[in-house]
Each structure stands twice: as C-alpha cells, then as structure tokens.
Amino acid sequence: MMKNWIVGVMLLGTVISYGQIYQGSTQLGTSMSLDITLNTNTDSVSMEFSGPSSGYYAVGFGGTGMTNTYTVVVNSNGTVQERKLGNHQGGNVLSASVAYNAVVAGGVRTAYIERARAGASGNHYTFSSNGGAINLIWAKGGTSFGNHGGSNRGFASINLVDQCNIPNTVLAAQNICQGDSVQVFGEWIKQSGIYYDSLSTPLGCDSIVEQQVLVNNTINNTIASTSLCAGDSIFYLDAWRTDTGTVVYNGVTAAGCDSIVTGRVEYLPTVDTGSIWVAPYIDASFYVGLDTGATYYWFNCNTGVFVDTTMGADTLNPGNEFLQAPDTGFYAAIIVKPGYCSDTSACYYFYMGVPEYNYGISLRPNPTQKDLEIKVDNFTSPIGYQLLSVSGRVLETGLLRSNSTLLDVRHYAAGMYLLRLDDGRTMKWIKE
C-alpha cells in the first residue's frame, strides 16, 4: 500500500477520502434471515440470504408493495432470479446481475449473492453509497414461484450501518533534539510537524495513524546567584562549591537535549565583631550588643566550647541590649545575623557577684562532678528547693524530706550554680 506523507501544515487544504463498509442484518418472518455488506471501496454489495430449502423464498428492496419492486428470488432448486414484480403478480425476470452459490444444511438453504452497488438497469435496485435504512417486502412458497398465501409474506426493513467510523490513531509525540532525526513511518524526520500514514483494516476500511514530532532546542539559562562564607561549602548546580565566581553547568533536559545553566557564587559579608561593649558594674559585668539585627550567643574561652542555650545564650531585642555572662570567667560573643557570615568577638573577663544567705546549710562536695549532698541543720519538716543558674533561671525544683538529701547533677554543664530554699537561704555550688 502506498503511504501518504503529509506534514500537518499541508493538510489545511487537503481532503482525505475514506473507504466505507456498511453492514446490516434482519429477520424476515420466522424462517428467513438477510445479512448485507455494502463496500464503497469496491462499490459492491454482498448478501447472505437464508430460508427453507423445501421451497422458494424472496425479498424485495425499496418498496412497501409488489408493484414495480426489485426482488431477489431463491428458487427451490437453488437457482437465483432477479425480478421486477407486477401488481400482485410475479412480473418480469430481469437480466442477471448477480453471482451466487447456495448451500443446504439442516433444511435451510443459504444463498451467497454478490452484485454491484448500482443497478444494472433502471429496473434493478441501486443501493445508496451512504448506507441507511431500506424498506423490504418478503415472501416464501412452494417448489415454484407463485402464490404464497397471506401467512407467508410480510414487510420489514434493514439498516446498513457504517462500520468504518474509526477515529485517527494518535501515537505518543516523538521528541528529538535540534539537529537530530527520528524515523516515522519508514522515513527519517528532522522537522517539527504532524505526519500521517493511511492503513487498511481487515474489513477494508481506511485507518489513519497520526504521529507528531517535536524538535526541542538547546536551553541556555541563567539562575540566581548563591552565597557562602569563607571556608564553607554549598551545593549549587549539581556540585559542592567552595570557591566564588561564575559557574557553568552542562546538563540535559527532560527530553534529553543539551541544557547549559550559568550561575555565580559570591561571599557573604561578615558581621561586625566590634558591635559589642563590656559594661562593668559594681557587682557584675554585662555584654552590651549594639547591633539590633544580630543574635548574640556565649562562647566559653576557658573550655573552648559553645555554651548551651539554657546556660546563658540570649537573643538581642531592641531596648533590651544587656546580656549577662552565665558565670565568672573569660567569655566571647558569637554574633549571628541573617544574610551575614557569623563571627566571634574577642574574649573578655566577666565577674558575677551573687549574695549568699547560707545559715544552717552545707553542700558537699563542692565543687562536684556527679553528686551534691544537701544537709540542713535543725530539720523539722520538708522544705522546697530550687537549682538555678547564676543568671537566675530555674533549672530544677524539688522537696527536701530529711536533713540529708543527695542530688544527681552529672547532667549539668561545668560552671557555677545556685541552691535556694523556699525560706530564702541561698548557696553557690560549682559543677566540674
């Protein structure tokens, strides 16, 4: 079969012709059946006409009565005649325009009849090329064509329905990259477009297959830059980056085509470590943070570790710039600010003055590494206690039920703490 190669834009003024197959079936009375296939590819009609083998049976086309109706008669001897009926009589035998053969089985004769769609003369019936409903008359009788009796005749119709109402088969679009090609219906294609192939179904109907080809261009794209701090790394354009400058990434698109993406890595500015001031007071010293957009955390210069946020870290808020060190000793401030690289100030010495009222209380060992024993003189009844940081934050509460209580403090960080009883008595203790 010759294949039709047409790019989609060329189809705007093109009409594709379709070969059509029309089929229909009907029952004539209780013992006769008729199947018809009309093929516009061959412009022919095929009939399968069955009835009793004991006599003749006949069907007329396009009429509601006998007068002038074209009729096909299957005789009792298996021959087939074409007739133009008269007014309640057999009329005239027409010149033969059919080819046929007949098969008898189980008392049923089936005649297979072939003829042209158009009538051989004005007396022969012409079938419509568009199918549709056809009025029928029918009759059956004895061994010779003649009187059939009132109970052996009747009216019917047959509807020839289009069997070729087949929608186009649309294949999944083929994506190719610029400069590449793809094979479509036996041809190599390099351009975008919609291509068609005309096939034939087993019935003889035309079937149109549609294939779209999409050519994808190489993509050049620039994305937003990113930033990092000196010594850090950042995952950017499919790799870890430690240096600043322009970055070019060569990849592929979802369609498998080249994709060139350009970006840039820059350094973030560093916070100002001079934005703090140590304010000495009579009984304590404070950090004063001058940058209201920064957050200040404590760093213990003696131990070289970051101080846990429960032990003195604080956020600088406008109007509340004073930050108190968690304990006496050398501390620095880690300064964190959105959009900046964090940094650490110089170490400064801070001292904390905490008044003690320790009448009748003793703590041991002090300093301690894991257990702290609390002894209360002249103990008469249970009394509540609190463990606090030197900045006044409550860390633990409990009840002393005897004159000697042992507390497990191994989970506390190294530093100075306070023990305060409900009656106000307060003592310092140190965790090593």
Concatenated DSSP letters of 94-112: PPP-EEEEEEEETTEEEEE
pLDDT at 11: 34
Listed residues 229, 264, 299: the one ending a domain: 264
- Which residues have C-beta within 8 Å of that of residue 380, sequence separation ≥ 6? none
Both tokens assigned to 29: 């009375």
The verdict on 34 and 99 lying in the same domain is yes
Pair 28, 154 in one domain: yes
**CATH number of the domain that residue 383 is part of:** 2.60.40.10
Domain identity same for 32 and 144: yes
Report the distance separating Cα 21 and Cα 161, nearest Å: 8
Residues 249 and 381 in one domain: no
Cβ(429)–Cβ(367) below 8 Å: yes
Total domains in the fold of the chain: 4
Shared domain check, 153 and 39: yes
Domain CATH code at residue 145: 2.60.40.1210
Mean pLDDT of the chain, nearest integer: 83
Domain limits at 336? 276-350
Co-location of 236 and 152 in the same domain = no
Residue 281 lies in a domain: yes
CA torsion angle 20 21 22 23 (round to 10) = -170
Asked whether residue 346 falls in the same domain as residue 366, the answer is no
Beta bridge partners of 33: 27, 50
Low-confidence residues of the chain: pLDDT under 70: 1-19, 203, 277-288, 307-329, 349-357, 390-392
Q: Is residue 234, in this structure, part of any structural domain at all?
A: yes
Q: CA angle at residue 142 from 136 to 144, to 5 degrees?
A: 90
Is residue 57 one of the residues assigned to a domain?
A: yes
* pLDDT at site 264: 95
- Asked if residue 231 and residue 151 are part of one domain, the reply reads no
User: Under DSSP, is residue 150 helix (H, G, I), strand (E, B) or coil?
Assistant: helix
Distance of CA 177 to the CA centre of its chain: 24
Q: Is residue 116 part of a domain?
A: yes
Calpha distance 278→322 (Å, rounded): 9
Same structural domain for residues 301 and 404? no
Q: What is the pLDDT of residue 257?
A: 84
- CA–CA distances in Å: residue 169 to residues 5, 18, 198, 203: 15, 14, 10, 17
Last residue of a domain, one of 127, 162, 197: 162
Among candidates 126, 131, 157, which has minimal Cα distance to 64? 157
pTM: 0.44
**Does some domain include residue 339?**
yes
- State which amino acid sits at residue 61: F
Residue 141 lies in a domain: yes
Is residue 98 located within the same domain as residue 70? yes
Residue 53's pLDDT is 94
Q: Is residue 16 part of a domain?
A: no
Cα(159)–Cα(23) distance, rounded to whole angstroms?
8
On whether both 129 and 25 belong to a single domain, the answer is: yes
Tell me, yes or no, whether 256 and 325 share the same domain.
no
- In a domain, residue 41? The reply is yes
